[in-house]
């Protein structure tokens, strides 16, 4: 279950969602909603998950200028999960 949750996502927009009891995680690409729910409840034992929303974030073109010229590439496809909690709270900054 440790490999399902890769890392928590912390941005300004997601910080506003945390006030509503919603938390975002970067998750394993083939993880299902029940697996994500179980992984969150095991990693943070004082929380209960109400629902899980997932989305697959598409690949984006990336490029940069180097001494050898312009280098093109693409970012990887990844999966994001928004977890809504029934009760409890997650503090991402205390576990660092």
Domain boundary assignment for the chain: 5-89
Residue 33, φ and ψ in degrees, nearest 5: -60, -45
pTM of the model: 0.85
Q: 74: which 2 tokens?
A: 């693409």
pLDDT of residue 88: 77
Say if CB 85 and CB 21 are below 8 A apart: yes
pLDDT over 70, % of the chain: 95
* pLDDT digits 0-9 by tens, 21-34: 999 999 999 999 99
Give the CATH H-level superfamily of domain 5-89. Answer: RRM (RNA recognition motif) domain (3.30.70.330)
Nearest-angstrom CA–CA distance, 65 and 37: 42
């Amino acid at each position: 279950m440790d490999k399902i949750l890769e890392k928590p996502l912390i941005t300004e927009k997601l910080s506003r969602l945390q006030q509503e009891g919603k938390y975002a995680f970067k998750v394993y690409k083939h993880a299902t909603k029940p697996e994500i729910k179980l992984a969150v409840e095991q990693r943070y034992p004082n929380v209960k998950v109400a629902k899980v929303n997932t989305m697959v974030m598409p690949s984006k073109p990336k490029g940069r200028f180097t001494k050898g010229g312009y280098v093109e590439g693409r970012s990887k496809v990844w999966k994001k999960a928004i977890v809504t909690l029934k009760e409890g709270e997650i503090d991402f900054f205390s576990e660092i």
